[in-house]
């Protein structure tokens, strides 16, 4: 036995296998192994299987079928391979098959199996198996369980796994931070972050993107600055992506641009994601020329790059250019996906483009086989409502297969107000106030509508509701960063040192708009 091992692992073919980097090379080695009779050694085939599982799952599965006595190693490799494909559910099937053949899972089996669960139900079943086998818990399992419970909105279970696990490291803490953020538990996420024994670039990245996801952009930037000032961690690629995202969201132009300058020489500045993030950042800050410049300069562009550029053009008022770019993408770019269609539908948010929108929507499902998400319905309903086609908008809300959210009813209400459809606005308002009972802005908009129509009972009714529900009206404010200094403005405030000049300019702008 031992002699076989030594013979096999010192075999030139085995050594070659260790160095092989492409699937083609691997297949050649496999063919050689079969020719010279080495394919019967599990040391060779198991390795072939493990390597190919990452890049060609069907090939790997074929290898498994040829192994007479597959080991737990082989099954683990294949389950891992499937977890990286769209056929994740095969993982559970393989696990069942493996159990039926009497092969016992080990500690390496479960973290991957957990990641293949496609719903809370299967996750709970796998967790049951874990408890049954016992003694398989480690940091990998803890973090996988936390991720998956949070993914399926069972964040309380994720917290429980964390609290009860004796294996907590920086990865487990980061998983829980992400889990808390994606379920809106911001205070909990901060608490985990404050209390974790060590932090690295990924934990900072998770915090910053978590803040961004929850629209706490200033917190994101503040944390980033604190991190940089103290020289805590060396920012990695994804951290810079997150912070560029935050800078774009708040218009922190100087910070974002300094990141761009600082890192222009770094090896990853030419990478795809980085370029895409820069396009997004410059477009969000209104520098669409710079965004376009980066887009044109990028040697490789993927679907995200194109989608980001299309959306950037659309949100900068270059609707026609955005639609043109989409058509160019269809000609010579990557295949558009659901996000691309959100971007190009945003570009159609003018009533003259209603026909284009419908045409795109049809193309989306018929030509590209992209499923409609709530965002696509949102774009259509916004456009219909904007165009004054409120009955049609209402019908689409009723027809859509998912429950409408605040954004959908918000667009509808806005359209009703623009076209002074008080009766329909009431319908939309009722849904909105039920969905977002603490959103003061919605009450204000509705109250204004009643007031404009002289319906004082309506105004009084809303005021009463606000008092009963203890909804406070937060004063509106905005800020802009100039030369690294943040200038904050509240509604009606005249505290800014240049308030006089600013109001004069605003007056000029208003006049220009009216003419």
Partner DNA sequence: ATAGGGTTAG
What does the binding site for DNA look like in residue numbers (CB under 7 A)? Answer: 5, 9, 42-43, 46-47, 50, 71-73, 76-77, 80, 106-112, 115, 138-144, 147, 169-175, 178, 200-203, 205-206, 209, 213, 236-239, 241-242, 245, 248, 273, 276-277, 280, 302-304, 307-308, 311, 337-339, 342-343, 373, 375
Torsion of CA 299, 304, 305, 306, to 10 degrees: 110
Q: In the bound complex, what is the minimum distance in angstroms from residue 453's beta carbon to DNA?
A: 34
Q: Please return the burial class of 493, using the count of CB atoms within 10 Å of its CB with bins 0-12, 13-18 and 19+.
A: exposed
Residue among 304 and 466 whose Cβ is closer to DNA: 304
Contact 345, 354 (CB under 8 A): no
Residue among 108 and 260 whose Cβ is closer to DNA: 108
Reduced to 3 states, what is the DSSP secondary structure of residue 510?
Answer: helix
Q: In the bound complex, what is the minimum distance in angstroms from residue 395's beta carbon to DNA?
A: 22
Residue among 57 and 241 whose Cβ is closer to DNA: 241
Residue among 1 and 491 whose Cβ is closer to DNA: 1
Residue among 148 and 390 whose Cβ is closer to DNA: 148
**CA distance linking residue 47 with residue 274, whole number of Å:** 34
Contact 52, 85 (CB under 8 A): no
**CA distance linking residue 236 with residue 242, whole number of Å:** 10
Residue recorded with tokens 């604190």: 226
Residue among 188 and 375 whose Cβ is closer to DNA: 375
Residue among 52 and 387 whose Cβ is closer to DNA: 52
Q: In the bound complex, what is the minimum distance in angstroms from residue 255's beta carbon to DNA?
A: 17
Per residue, what are the HEC states of 78-144? HHHHHHCCCCCCHHHHHHHHHHHCCCCCCCCHHHHHHHCCCCHHHHHHHHHHHHHHCCCCCHHHHHH
Q: In the bound complex, what is the minimum distance in angstroms from residue 80's beta carbon to DNA?
A: 5
Angle between helices 374-386 and 354-366 (to 10 degrees): 160
Q: In the bound complex, what is the minimum distance in angstroms from residue 491's beta carbon to DNA?
A: 26
Describe the chain by its helix, strand, coil percentages, rounded to 5: 70, 0, 25
Give the HSE-up count for residue 78: Cα atoms under 13 Å, Cβ half-sphere: 27
Q: In the bound complex, what is the minimum distance in angstroms from residue 283's beta carbon to DNA?
A: 9
Q: In the bound complex, what is the minimum distance in angstroms from residue 479's beta carbon to DNA?
A: 20
């Amino acid at each position: 036995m031992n002699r076989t091992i030594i013979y096999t692992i010192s075999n030139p073919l085995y050594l070659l296998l260790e160095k092989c980097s492409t699937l083609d090379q691997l297949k050649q080695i496999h063919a050689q192994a079969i020719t010279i009779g080495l394919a019967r050694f599990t040391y060779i085939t198991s390795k072939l299987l493990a390597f190919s599982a990452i890049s060609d799952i069907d090939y790997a599965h074929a290898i498994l079928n040829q192994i007479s006595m597959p080991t737990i190693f082989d099954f683990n490799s294949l389950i891992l391979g499937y977890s990286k494909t769209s056929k994740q559910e095969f993982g559970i099937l393989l696990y069942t098959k493996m159990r039926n053949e009497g092969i016992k899972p080990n500690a390496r089996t479960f973290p991957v199996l957990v990641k293949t669960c496609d719903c809370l139900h299967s996750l709970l079943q796998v967790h049951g198996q874990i408890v049954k086998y016992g003694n398989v818990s480690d940091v990998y399992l803890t973090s996988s369980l936390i991720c998956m419970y949070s993914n399926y909105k069972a964040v309380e279970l994720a917290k429980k796994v964390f609290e009860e696990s004796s294996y907590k490291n920086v990865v487990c803490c980061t998983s829980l931070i992400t889990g808390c953020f994606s379920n809106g538990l911001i205070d909990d996420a901060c608490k985990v972050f404050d209390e974790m024994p060590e932090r690295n670039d990924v934990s900072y990245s998770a915090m910053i993107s978590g803040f961004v996801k929850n629209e706490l952009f200033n917190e994101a930037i503040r944390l980033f600055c604190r991190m940089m000032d103290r020289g805590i961690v060396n920012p990695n690629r994804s951290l810079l992506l997150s912070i560029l995202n935050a800078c774009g969201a708040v218009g922190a132009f100087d910070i974002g641009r300094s990141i761009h300058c600082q890192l222009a020489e770094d090896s990853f500045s030419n990478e795809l994601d980085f370029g895409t993030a820069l396009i997004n950042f410059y477009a969000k800050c209104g520098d669409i020329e710079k965004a376009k410049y980066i887009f044109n300069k990028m040697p490789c562009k993927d679907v995200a790059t194109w989608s980001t550029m299309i959306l950037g053009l659309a949100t900068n008022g270059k609707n026609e250019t955005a639609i043109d770019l989409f058509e160019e993408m269809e000609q010579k770019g990557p295949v558009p996906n659901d996000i691309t269609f959100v971007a190009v539908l945003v570009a159609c948010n003018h009533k003259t483009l209603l026909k284009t929108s419908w045409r795109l929507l049809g193309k989306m499902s018929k030509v590209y086989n992209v499923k409609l998400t709530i965002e696509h319905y949102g774009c259509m309903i916004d456009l219909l409502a904007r165009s004054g086609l409120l009955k049609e908008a209402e019908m689409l809300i009723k027809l859509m297969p998912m429950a409408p959210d605040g954004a959908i009813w918000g667009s509808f209400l806005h359209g009703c107000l623009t076209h002074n459809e008080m009766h329909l606005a009431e319908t939309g308002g009722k849904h909105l106030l039920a969905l977002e009972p603490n959103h003061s802005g919605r009450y204000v908009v509705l109250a204004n509508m009643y007031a404009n129509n002289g319906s004082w009972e309506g105004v009084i009714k809303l005021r009463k509701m606000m008092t009963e529900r203890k909804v406070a009206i937060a004063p509106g404010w905005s800020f802009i960063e100039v030369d690294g200094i943040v200038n904050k403005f509240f509604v009606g405030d005249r505290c800014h040192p240049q308030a006089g000049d600013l109001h004069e300019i605003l007056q000029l702008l208003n006049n220009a708009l009216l003419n």
